[in-house]
A and B are shown apart, each in its own frame.
Chain A
């Protein structure tokens, strides 16, 4: 089947620390991979995406590389800010048909000053 396994949280970091949130996937076809972010009290927003192997998605200082050999899409940021505090969801969608988005369980990140 199709699934996403995401690093358990919560994660608490000091400002300017390095962030990694691990994500691995299982897919029956060829997926596109996403990281969505949910800030407190808000809906889901796309943070970054990658649609093929070795693609690197990046946005707001966050990066993730589509690794087909390890079926991974780990999220990284070199220096987190308090404003990055949110819940981060790894997700995949198969690239054919109207298939739905499969989400990981989400990782809550809290950045302290």
Chain B
């Protein structure tokens, strides 16, 4: 069964370092998303991406964040200069153009900023 895959599963980094989280969405999907979940809190939308551009972003997604689809398969989230409060689980998701709108999530990348 097709699935969304994310790497790394866990990354530990020092404050101020750049981090890139990688995702391989399901191959025939056209919409891509990043969400994050700070420990014990709700799942928060960061950004959606369609047709090679950002279609929507939340107020969390400031200038320190960027997304890219460098080739036909990967979808990356970059955090330019990490802060302690960026520590969270980051989920990638993708979906087709169907009206049901179901999102398929990866298992998440846990980021720990020290």
A93 to B100 Cα, complex, angstroms:
8
Q: A44-B105, A100-B33, A101-B33 are in contact. Are A95 and B99 (CB under 8 A)?
A: yes
Interface flag for B25 (CB, 8 Å) = no
Task: Considering the complex, give the chain A residue whose CB is closest to the CB of B92.
Answer: A43
Q: Give the secondary structure class of B's interface.
A: strand
Contact B103 A101 (CB under 8 A): yes
Interface flag for B107 (CB, 8 Å) = yes
For residue B100, give the distance in angstroms from its CB to the closest CB of chain A: 5
Residues of B within 8 A of A104 (CB): 42
A94 to B100 Cα, complex, angstroms:
9
Task: Considering the complex, give the chain A residue whose CB is closest to the CB of B33.
Answer: A100
Closest 5 CB pairs of A and B: A93-B101, A43-B107, A44-B105, A98-B50, A103-B43
Chain B contacts to A: CB under 8 angstroms? 31, 33, 35, 41-45, 48, 50, 55-56, 91, 93, 99-108
For residue B11, give the distance in angstroms from its CB to the closest CB of chain A: 16
Contact B43 A95 (CB under 8 A): no
A105 to B37 Cα, complex, angstroms:
11
Task: Considering the complex, give the chain A residue whose CB is closest to the CB of B49.
Answer: A98
Q: A100-B33, A103-B42 are in contact. Are A45 and B102 (CB under 8 A)?
A: no
Contact A101 B42 (CB under 8 A): no
Residues of B within 8 A of A36 (CB): 105
Contact B91 A44 (CB under 8 A): yes
